[in-house]
Amino acid sequence: MTKVAGIIGLPVAHSLSPIFQGAAFRHCGLDVRYEAWETPAEALAGRVVSLRDPRYLGANVTIPYKQAVIPLLDELGGQSARVGAVNTIVNRQGRLFGFNTDGPGFVASLRREAHFDPAGAAVLLLGAGGAARGIAFALVEAHVRSLSIANRTPNRATSLAAGVASNGVSVRAVAGGESLDRYDLIVDCTSAGMHGGGGEADVPCDLSTASPGALVADIVYVPEETPLLRAARAIGLKTLPGLPMLIYQGALAFELWTGASAPVEVMFDAAREALAQRAATFSGEGAR
């Protein structure tokens, strides 16, 4: 019997997950079909209930349902309970387990793609939304030395800092505009670069005071070079774009569903080819 997995969200037509997850299942010789499930709010409960059927391995969950699915599940695993968000559902004999692979996927991308070990690092996190929450908990678990959180709405940064606070790690909310020279890693979890603008307003912080050895990461993967990453490269800072986080969080989901090692390079290749095709299509449309 062909197994099925998919992604639940609104919208999901743009998602790369069907492309790179499908490539992974084919590469591993697994009879699994991965689908995109555009799900209105009123259909969410029914969609999640359907995952209990033996045909389904589970699902990825994206905006806006990472919190809304939690009451519909049987158990939470990993960091998902503390984070308060689920991006992966696993069907285990009709019981639904929720996990959050966003944060661990980001940490994996740091280690494997940027060759950066977060242990002992001083980190500035820009943003306090759902993605920032998962990354904040994962960085604390990875034993960063300190974690500073900045957000346009200061009380959200304060609330996240209080929730993430852990013994042995200094976690605090900070105001924008402070010097960045104390940080080893700067992570943009805002949507500032999502549309590829190049103006100063699209850069969420002034990098002029950053340490020359700092790594600047952005979780946006389209465009690959966001305004923040362009600004960082212009002054010689190391950068990490958002695609690796997307792939590694997906690889962790793949392993939760199948018990098999994810073919990460196959997933990267499929995603990059899809992005290149989309860019070529967009360029052609612009030319016309």
- Among candidate residues 109, 153, 97, the one with its CA nearest the CA of residue 134: 109
Residue 218's SS3 state is strand
User: Is 66 among the residues known to form the active site?
Assistant: yes
Catalytic residue among 3, 47, 66, 133: 66
Q: Using CA atoms, how far apart are residues 76 and 243, in angstroms rounded to an integer?
A: 26
- Among candidate residues 114, 184, 187, 108, the one with its CA nearest the CA of residue 141: 108
The pairing of strands 3-9 and 56-61 is parallel
What Å distances lie between residue 235 and 114, 124, 183, 198, CA to CA?
A: 18, 18, 16, 16
Q: Using CA atoms, how far apart are residues 82 and 24, in angstroms rounded to an integer?
A: 30
What Å distances lie between residue 5 and 60, 71, 258, CA to CA?
A: 8, 20, 11
CB 59 within 8 A of CB 33: no
Query: Which residues are designated catalytic?
Result: 66
